[in-house]
């Protein structure tokens, strides 16, 4: 009997802050072998929380990145392509203009994922990367620029919720100084805590056995906690940190100036101005989950970081 061949796929995740490409070979058993992985900071969500529209300059940055990714997809010979857009595009009144530009640039119809679909894809990608070493139920937290997706489950999502809380959105709403003032920080924390209070009515945080964090704010905080002088994906992926280590790294990044964040060798230049809000959100999530787990008579002592996320979930969905 002849085994089925692998399929070369291309997944694009277009978020509020970045657009990412993964070209991979996916086997019939669901294994994924990376061929090419890229990231560009395009800040598509620039001003969306205030104006409700995608800015012309943000659209052009995104279209330019899409044209570059189209070249890579053609050169690597991917036969299936899926382009998923998330929070900023969901919120924008001119998303038809975005869709037209992406279609022209990359040749596929962009999907504007619902919060639930985004969360489900994130869960699939994340759990594939950590399930062999950690027990469920997993609370997967995908902390993006415009929204944060929360997914609780073991083999598949049981509860899914999308919050309008992210690194770009919170920066634009609250953190205007460099570094943030105590008043700005307090206002941002109050906003995030109110969102988590609402989320707690739907997502039973106390059931969490393994807390898994995804995306740039989380991976940057992890790199900081690990003391990395340059970004090393192989060390960040699967890293297990104590809760207090995570909170300390977040606190330090939040209170640094943009220049001092940029001086960190692992920091992407396009993330330095919004990472403060991102780690503030992450620290509030970690603290809330720890408290709710304790209320159930257990202890959350560590947090897992995964580099496998929505991008890997999109790729796996193409097989």
> Rounded distance, CA 153 to CA 208, Å?
9
Give the single-character DSSP code of 55: -
* pTM metric for this prediction: 0.78
Report the percent of the chain where pLDDT is more than 90.
61
Write down the pLDDT at residue 49.
76
Chain position carrying tokens 């409700």: 52
Q: Are strands 302-305 and 80-85 parallel, antiparallel or unpaired?
A: unpaired
Say what angle helices 275-295 and 243-255 make with each other, to 10 degrees.
Answer: 150
119 pLDDT above the threshold of 80: no
> Rounded distance, CA 268 to CA 220, Å?
9
In the structure encoding, which two tokens stand for residue 31, read together? 């294994």
155 or 190, which is more confident: 190
pLDDT tens-digit map of 256-310: 999 999 999 999 888 898 999 999 999 999 999 999 999 999 999 999 999 888 8
Domains of the chain: 7-113 (3.30.420.40), 125-311 (3.30.420.150)
How many CB atoms sit inside 10 A of residue 158's CB? 15
Q: Is 47 helix (H, G, I), strand (E, B) or coil?
A: coil
> Rounded distance, CA 289 to CA 241, Å?
15
Write down the pLDDT at residue 90.
77
2 pLDDT above the threshold of 80: no
Write down the pLDDT at residue 4.
56
Q: Residue 80: which H helix or E strand, with range?
A: strand 80-85
Burial class from Cβ neighbours inside 10 Å (0-12, 13-18, 19+) for residue 277 reads buried
Query: Is residue 86 within 8 Å of 113, Cβ to Cβ?
Result: yes
Average pLDDT, stretch 155-163?
A: 87
């Amino acid at each position: 009997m002849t085994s089925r061949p692998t399929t070369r796929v291309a997944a694009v995740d277009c978020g509020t802050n970045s657009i990412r490409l993964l070209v991979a070979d996916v086997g019939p058993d669901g294994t994924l072998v990376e061929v090419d992985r890229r990231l560009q900071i395009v800040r598509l969500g620039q001003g969306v929380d205030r104006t409700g529209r995608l800015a012309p300059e943000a659209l052009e940055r995104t279209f330019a990145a899409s044209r570059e990714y189209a070249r890579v997809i053609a050169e690597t010979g991917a036969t299936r392509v899926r382009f998923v857009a998330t929070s900023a595009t969901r919120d924008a009144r001119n998303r038809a203009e975005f869709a037209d530009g992406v279609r022209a640039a990359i040749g596929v119809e962009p999907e504007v994922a619902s919060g639930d679909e985004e969360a489900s894809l994130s869960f699939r990608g994340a759990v594939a990367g950590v399930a062999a070493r950690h027990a469920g139920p997993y609370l997967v937290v995908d902390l993006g620029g415009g929204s944060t997706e929360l997914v609780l489950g073991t083999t598949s999502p049981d509860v899914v919720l999308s919050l309008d809380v992210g690194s770009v959105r919170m920066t634009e709403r609250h953190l205007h100084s460099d570094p943030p003032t105590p008043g700005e920080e307090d206002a941002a924390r109050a906003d995030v805590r109110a969102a988590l209070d609402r989320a707690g009515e739907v997502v039973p945080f106390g059931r969490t056995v393994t807390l898994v964090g995804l995306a740039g704010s989380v991976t940057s905080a992890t790199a900081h906690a690990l003391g990395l002088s340059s970004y090393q994906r192989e060390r960040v992926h699967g890293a297990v940190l104590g809760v207090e280590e995570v909170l300390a790294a977040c606190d330090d990044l939040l209170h640094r100036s943009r220049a001092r964040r940029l001086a960190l060798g692992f920091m992407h230049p396009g993330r330095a101005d919004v990472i403060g809000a991102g780690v503030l959100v992450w620290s509030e999530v970690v603290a809330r989950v720890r408290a709710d787990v304790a209320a159930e008579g257990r202890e959350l002592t560590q947090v897992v970081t995964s580099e496998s996320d929505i991008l890997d979930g999109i790729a796996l969905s193409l097989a």
